Homo-oligomer: A and B are copies of this chain.
Amino acid sequence: MALEHAILVSLLEQPGSGYELARRFDRSIGRFWTATHQQIYRVLRRMEADGWVAAEEVAQDGRPDKKVYSATAEGRGVLVGWLREPVEPETVRHELAVKIRAAAFDDPAALVPEVERHRTEHAALLARYLSGEQRDFPDPDALDAQQRLQHVVLRGGIEYERMILAWLDDVLATLHRLQAPPPSTPGT
């Protein structure tokens, strides 16, 4: 379970409210972790009770008050302890891959628009990552340790999206080839 740890990292990089964390998890952190605001609020309360984070009420004008959380020294200790334990490689759950194999039991051509839709979304995500890279890491030689580590994670996201795009093209080519198969073998 790494949601707590992802939150600790995010708060160490920059304190923030539950709402702000939820938005980060949709953006930069979303590159490698996801969570809904419900989960984040619940986990934050537990972490506060455990002393891993501390909250400060902040009044705002024109907006509801918010509780700004920071990681405590104890929270940081928990994170460092976790760092030194091994984690297993992530488990992949790719619904589209299930659909592609399922297409053998229906009309495979019906899947083309769905695959194209995924392609469009992944292309948009890649563009967002690339512009974020331009904005946040314009000079890769002038970064401190924290930024270098953020950057290498972002590069992972970029390469992942590139790989997915190439694969989706492969999938589309495969689907099209099923409709117009190569010259049938003479023996059949």
Contact = CB atoms under 8 A, between A and B. Distances in A.
Nearest to A87: B95
| Total copies of this chain within the assembly | 2
Interface string A124-147: 000000000000000001100110
A122 B89 contact: yes
A32 B97 contact: yes
Contact of A34 (B9, B92, B141, B177): B92
Given A89-B122, A94-B90, A95-B90, A104 B145 contact: yes
A91 B2 CA distance: 15
A99 B149 CA distance: 10
Interface of A: 2, 5-6, 8-9, 12-13, 31-34, 76, 79-80, 82-84, 86-87, 89-106, 108, 110-111, 114, 117-118, 121-122, 141-142, 145-146, 148-153, 155-156, 159-160, 162-163, 166-167, 170-171, 174, 177-178, 182, 185
